[in-house]
Amino acid sequence: RRLLDESDLAMARVLEDLVGVLVDKGVLRFTDLPEAAQKKLLARRGARTDVNGHSPLVGGEDVL
């Protein structure tokens, strides 16, 4: 069960980064996402900025 939980967390991070890349490349508009998804992504982006001290897609060894 622990392995699945860790995998879920890692997969959530991958999906979060994927959405960011698709938005940056103009393939997807952030506003195309459901409002609930937008709120969750914005909250995570803010939390990652707080933890990392910079934008989540700028630098950092764990960014794709």
Work out the angle between the directed axes of helices 35-52 and 2-24 (0-180°, nearest 10): 100
Q: What is the pLDDT of residue 25?
A: 97
Contacts of 29 (CB under 8 A, 6+ apart): 23
Tokens standing for 27? 């393939």
- Global pTM exceeds 0.95: no
Of the pLDDT bands very low, low, confident and very high (cuts 50, 70, 90), residue 55 is: low
Q: What is the pLDDT of residue 61?
A: 46
Tokens standing for 28? 């997807």
